[in-house]
Amino acid sequence: MNAEFDDVDFEYATTIADRANRFMLQYGVPPTPENFSVWFNYAMAASPELKKTIDVLIANKRKFDSAVNHELYVTYIDPNSHRSASGGLPAQLQSVISSAKGIPQHRDLRQPHPDRGAGRSVHTV
């Protein structure tokens, strides 16, 4: 996991965990530790690239099957974990992830600037 999570207070972590669980329920994602890690990061907006990729998958009505879930985990959470035996992603999913990575990043102005304090805002879904 990311060292950034060591400084998260209990209430904030609980709020993010609840949001991650709601997302997983909404999109039919099995509540495994790996999937929870992906969706916790998504709910926390810890990785702009992960958030963009999941948003593109949702917009394209892509099902979060085991291959997609696994690829999200190894791409954004634990790149050192082993990739699937098939050697990678289906071409369509790779295209979606590649296009999501190419979307210009915009910082959420509701969040504090990283150089201006450690306070965190919690937004509901």
- Tens of pLDDT, residue by residue over 1-21, are 455 556 779 999 999 999 999
Strand extents, DSSP E, the chain: none
Cβ contact 19:43 at 8 Å = yes
The two three-digit tokens of residue 77, written as one number: 């959470």
Please give the residue that has the higher pLDDT: either 23 or 88.
23
Give the integer Cα–Cα distance in Å for 87 and 91: 12
Give the integer Cα–Cα distance in Å for 49 and 70: 16
- Tens of pLDDT, residue by residue over 23-74, are 999 999 999 999 999 999 999 999 999 999 999 999 999 999 999 999 999 9
User: pTM higher than 0.95, yes or no?
Assistant: no
